[in-house]
Amino acid sequence: MKDHDAKGIPHTTPRQSATFTQDANSDIRRAAATGIYDIRGGGAKRKVPHFDDLLFLGASISRYPLEGYREKCGTDVTLGGRHASNPIKLDIPITIAGMSFGALSGPAKEALGRGASAAGTSTTTGDGGMTPEERGHSSKLVYQYLPSRYGMNPDDLRKADAIEIVVGQGAKPGGGGMLLGQKISDRVAEMRNLPKGIDQRSSCRHPDWTGPDDLEIKILELREITGWKVPIYVKVAGARPYFDTTLAVKAGADVVVLDGMQGGTAATQDVFIEHVGQPTLACIRPAVRALQDLGMHREVQLIVSGGIRNGADVAKAMALGADAVAIGTAALIALGDNDPKWENEYNALGTTAGAYDDWHEGQDPAGITTQDPELMKRFDPVEGGRRLRNYLKVLTLEAQTIARACGKNHMHNLEPEDLVALTMEAAAMAQVPLAGTDWYPGKPGTSY
């Protein structure tokens, strides 16, 4: 491109709009060409305040550290002791979030069970019911109780180690789901009691209860059916975390699962994923405050999910008051999703490794988010399980490293005082001081 015209007058530099970005323009062109909104998997991709905006202070004269490789730093967690006679005891505070058979292949679900069990933690079913592969390979399995009730039955309910009533999901608070027809194999169709090949809609709200008073009775029913043995979790999206946590606890939940907007989904409208809900970081402190106000912090456990990637994220979530975290997208990446080794095939699908999110279309080159028998053959559940176990181990070691540096002999001893924030936004959301100050926006006793 010439930098001047024929008369020698300089051109201005071509300037891209900060409002009409290349991304925004491509969305407009796609909408104009198709007449329908974009559906994709995954969580919010926009940049939001996150755990990266927090730092640990580590030890100093007033705090002494624990020896990194010698001194004990506990990672175990017990979930659901409030009412259940058999609470879940995990070796590590990192669980596998709910992902459906249907969205994922059978071997992928098996790998999640293998990896989680080897690491001493739980995995979770999803919409579509419980598969024998998953139950068989998961030493601790949480059975999701979803609005669609696809595959729901009392026999599987009694096989579960815990029940998770799903009220909301961080990627789509207030939204349901859709499993497109191309992923409805004979087996998926049979489990969901619907014809093969049709789009299967998952409802956005439960068919037989509305509101917290009904939820309390629903929890009573599930406890009666399972003999008050297993914990009942209630999963809420990061929408109104203070009130949702309060209401879930008042309804009788043993555990609250809180999923921020970076939490993934198998398929939802892009506009929904990016514009509804709150960042994970913004949700934790209000939920913890709700538990504290009820005198239930640590008695009812809080599991946080949505954007957990490394041990620092785990430690930060726990320092802010979570009892454990859950991973979904990170677990899929550990299994091999979006691996650059499939780059040519991602390119053929019009995308690139790391950006592939059309999980609902069933063409996953890694053979994980598909029901295509040929693609599924690419994925080895034993190897996948090993990779997930390794990843969970690293997350745990990283989190322990940080906890020891902060002088904590158990992950649960991490506290907000161990943290500072790098930005005003993160300081306000996490309610920890802006680095170099003793202040955060909204701090009690300050007028701003």
Partner 1 sequence: MQTFDLEAQGLRALNSTLHAQAENTNQTHWEIINPKGSHAIAVGLDAPIEVNVKGSTGYYCAGMNKQATVHVHGSAGPGTAENMMSGTVIVEGDASQYAGATGHGGTLIIKGNASSRCGISMKGIDIIVHGNIGHMSAFMAQSGNIVVCGDAGDALGDSCYEARFFVRGSVKSLGADCIEKEMRPEHIKMLEELLERGGCDAKASEFKRYGSARTLYNFDVDNAAAY
Which is it for the CA torsion 327, 282, 437, 422, positive or negative? Answer: positive
Residues 6+ apart with CB under 8 A from 33: none
11 or 205: whose CB is closer to partner 1?
205
Rounded to whole angstroms, the Cα distance separating 91 from 140 reads 11
Closest CA to 399 of 304, 310, 311: 311
- To partner 1, the closest distance from the beta carbon of 160 in angstroms equals 13
Find out whether 226 and 163 touch, Cβ atoms under 8 Å: yes
Contact 262/280 with Cβ under 8 angstroms?
yes
Nearest approach, Cβ of residue 118 and partner 1 (Å): 33
Q: Which is nearer to partner 1, 118 or 180 (CB)?
A: 180
> Among residues 131 and 148, whose Cβ is nearest to partner 1?
148
Q: Which is nearer to partner 1, 52 or 270 (CB)?
A: 270
d(CA 319, CA 56): 9
Q: Which is nearer to partner 1, 217 or 355 (CB)?
A: 217
Nearer to partner 1, 216 or 343 (CB): 216
Measured in whole angstroms, how far is the alpha carbon of residue 165 from the centre of its chain?
A: 15
Taking a C-beta distance cutoff of 8 angstroms, is the pair 283, 251 a contact? no
Report the DSSP pairing between strands 39-42 and 265-269. antiparallel
**Shortest distance (Å) from residue 206 CB to partner 1:** 9
Q: Which of 11, 21, 81, 82 is nearest to 47 (CA)?
A: 21
Min dist CB 342 to partner 1, Å, is 28
**DSSP code for 52:** G
Write down the least CB distance from residue 181 to partner 1, Å. 6
Q: Which is nearer to partner 1, 129 or 365 (CB)?
A: 129
Token pair recorded at residue 203: 């409802």
Sign of CA dihedral 26, 181, 388, 160: positive
Shortest distance (Å) from residue 373 CB to partner 1:
22
Asked whether 221 and 162 are in contact (CB, 8 A), the reply is no
Give the count of alpha carbons within 13 A of 44, CB side only: 28
- The CB-of-35 to partner 1 minimum distance in angstroms stands at 5
Q: Which is nearer to partner 1, 146 or 333 (CB)?
A: 146
DSSP 67: P
From the number of C-beta atoms within 10 Å of its C-beta (0-12, 13-18, 19+), residue 250 rates as: middle
Distance CA 360, CA 152 (A): 22
State the nearest-atom distance from the C-beta of 411 to partner 1, in Å: 36
Q: How far is the CB of 162 from partner 1 (least distance, A)?
A: 17
Q: DSSP letter string over 12-43?
A: PPP---SSS-HHHHHHHHHHHHHSS--EEEES
Report, in Å, the least distance between residue 209 CB and partner 1.
Answer: 7
Closer CB to partner 1, residue 55 or residue 194? 194
Contacts to partner 1 by CB under 8 A: 34-36, 148-149, 152-154, 157, 178, 180-181, 192-195, 198-199, 201, 203, 207-209, 214, 217-218, 220-221, 224-228
Report which of 345, 335, 360, 180 is spatially closest to residue 264, judged by C-alpha positions. 360
CB-nearer residue toward partner 1: 165 or 327: 165
